[in-house]
């Protein structure tokens, strides 16, 4: 059977025109500018950059405006845009130890060398709505206090444990890491591929998995060794010149967890590590990523019964991408008339057969 597949153009045109109107909202309210979104919705912009896997605050702000604030739809727009860009190269590995930190805390050392720096955090706020912000034309807030900065970057908290030998060293990997944007996901994945997938993975999904691991589904006892929010230089080797130039800076959130130890009769006990690194300021995601990274190392670290969802590489990596997931999820709302007609025919036939069989049975019983 054939069904009409044309004829929706007029309706689609009208739907898109209305979408544009709804996106704009009441025209009596001033329109948002991209700069306003970039400057005042910074954490939404950060999420779109991380999950869109492309660092460009202006584009992420534009995507949010176009997507009516829907972060996942905005990430989809960014992913689609990035496919139009030629790949010019790859950076040297970021030196996050040299990051200019707005915030840098450790939950394992009170007297952390370099100090605990809180930065512009929501922590310690009371989570009470601030109705003063509802006032329009409020004057900008008073300037934040200043103090003389340290002269050198703060050392890594992990480096302190490293020196004592109580922390597992990070193994070297391949010079050219696998790239999800170039080759489809293949399992088993190495740690580099897992970290790429998690860095662009859905924040909510990673949060839930990380939380599940804390609640006992693949428990691994994490401590936040260090959490850093700041900016790091991106150095790229210029092919024409043969040396590297710091061509820009990206805002980053980095989380390093220190987890329960591994050891055996032949090897002394050592703490293990989980790692989270996310484009933009997003510590919920960075901490979640570190917990899930560590959970996914269960097998490599020889942990028994590594069968919790957060420890299942195929489960986590196949489902953490929200662009892929929403694409597959939402396609079922598109026309499936033919499939459904076939199913409907089948149900009708089964019912007719059952009714006929029943009628035959009762006439036999009566006869």
Partner 1 sequence: MDRPTEDDAARRDWMGLLARAPAEALQKLWGDAGATPRFSWLRPPETGAVMVRGRAGGVGAVFNLGEMTVTRASLALDCGAVGHAWVQGRDRRKAEIAALVDALMQTAAAPRLRAQVLAPLAEAERARRDARARKAAATQVAFFTMARGDA
Residues of span 61-120 touching partner 1 by CB under 8 A = 82, 85-94, 96-97, 100-103, 110-111, 115-120
Would you say 217 or 270 has its CB closer to partner 1?
Answer: 270
Q: Is residue 35 a contact residue for partner 1 (CB under 8 A)?
A: no
Using CB under 8 A as the binding criterion, the count of chain residues that bind partner 1 stands at: 84
Q: Is residue 271 a contact residue for partner 1 (CB under 8 A)?
A: no
Smallest distance, partner 1 to C-beta of residue 261, A: 16
Would you say 218 or 225 has its CB closer to partner 1?
Answer: 225
Q: What is the DSSP string of 205-264?
A: HHHHHHHHHHTTTT----EEEEEEEEEEEEEEEETTTTEEEEEEEEEEEEEEEEEEEE--
Would you say 61 or 195 has its CB closer to partner 1?
Answer: 195
DSSP 103: E
Within residues 300-329, the interface with partner 1 by CB under 8 A covers none
- Phi then psi for residue 53, to 5 deg, are 60, 35
Within residues 194-233, the interface with partner 1 by CB under 8 A covers 195-196, 199-200, 233
Q: Is residue 53 a contact residue for partner 1 (CB under 8 A)?
A: yes
Place of tokens 């399992």: 187
Task: Kindly give the pairing relationship between strand 223-238 and strand 270-279.
Answer: unpaired
- Please enumerate, as own/partner, the contacts of 319-324 that have beta carbons within 8 Å and a separation of 24 or more: 319/205, 320/197, 320/198, 320/201, 320/202, 320/205, 320/206, 321/197, 321/200, 321/201, 321/202, 322/51, 322/72, 322/75, 322/201, 322/202, 322/205, 323/51, 323/72, 323/75, 323/76, 323/79
Q: Is residue 289 a contact residue for partner 1 (CB under 8 A)?
A: no
Q: Is residue 164 a contact residue for partner 1 (CB under 8 A)?
A: no
Q: Is residue 186 a contact residue for partner 1 (CB under 8 A)?
A: no
Would you say 130 or 175 has its CB closer to partner 1?
Answer: 175
Within residues 122-161, the interface with partner 1 by CB under 8 A covers 144-150, 156, 158
Q: Is residue 296 a contact residue for partner 1 (CB under 8 A)?
A: no
Q: Is residue 250 a contact residue for partner 1 (CB under 8 A)?
A: yes
Q: Is residue 240 a contact residue for partner 1 (CB under 8 A)?
A: yes
């Amino acid at each position: 059977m054939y069904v009409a597949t044309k004829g929706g153009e007029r309706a689609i045109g009208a739907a898109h025109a209305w979408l544009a109107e709804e996106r704009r909202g009441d025209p009596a309210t001033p329109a948002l500018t991209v700069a306003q979104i970039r400057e005042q919705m910074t954490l939404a912009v950060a999420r779109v950059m991380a999950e869109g896997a492309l660092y460009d605050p202006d584009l992420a702000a534009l995507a949010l405006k176009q997507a009516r604030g829907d972060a996942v739809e905005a990430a989809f727009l960014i992913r689609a845009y990035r496919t139009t860009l030629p790949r010019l190269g790859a950076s040297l590995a970021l030196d996050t130890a040299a990051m200019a930190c707005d915030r840098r805390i450790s939950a394992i050392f009170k007297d952390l060398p370099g100090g605990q720096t809180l930065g512009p955090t929501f922590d310690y706020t009371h989570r009470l709505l601030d109705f003063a912000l509802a006032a329009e034309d409020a004057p900008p807030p008073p300037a934040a206090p200043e103090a003389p900065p340290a002269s050198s970057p703060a050392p890594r908290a992990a480096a302190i444990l490293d020196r004592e030998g109580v922390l597992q060293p990070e193994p070297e990997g391949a010079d050219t890491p696998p790239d999800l944007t170039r080759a489809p996901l293949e399992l088993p994945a190495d740690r580099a591929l897992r970290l790429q997938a998690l860095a662009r993975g859905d924040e909510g999904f990673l949060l839930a998995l990380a939380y599940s691991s804390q609640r006992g589904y693949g428990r691994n006892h994490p401590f936040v060794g260090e959490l850093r929010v700041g900016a790091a230089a991106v150095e790229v080797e210029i092919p024409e010149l043969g040396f590297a130039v710091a061509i820009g800076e990206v805002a980053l959130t980095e989380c390093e967890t220190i987890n329960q130890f591994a050891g055996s009769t032949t090897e002394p006990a050592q703490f293990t590590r989980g790692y989270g690194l996310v484009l933009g300021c997003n510590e919920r995601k960075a901490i979640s990523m570190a917990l899930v990274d560590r959970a996914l190392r269960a097998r490599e670290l020889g942990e028994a019964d590594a069968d919790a969802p957060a420890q299942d590489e195929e489960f986590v990596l196949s489902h953490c991408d929200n662009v892929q997931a929403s694409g597959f999820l939402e396609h079922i709302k598109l026309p499936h008339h033919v499939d459904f007609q076939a199913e409907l025919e089948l149900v009708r036939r089964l019912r007719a057969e059952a009714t006929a069989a029943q009628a035959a049975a009762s006439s036999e019983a009566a006869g």
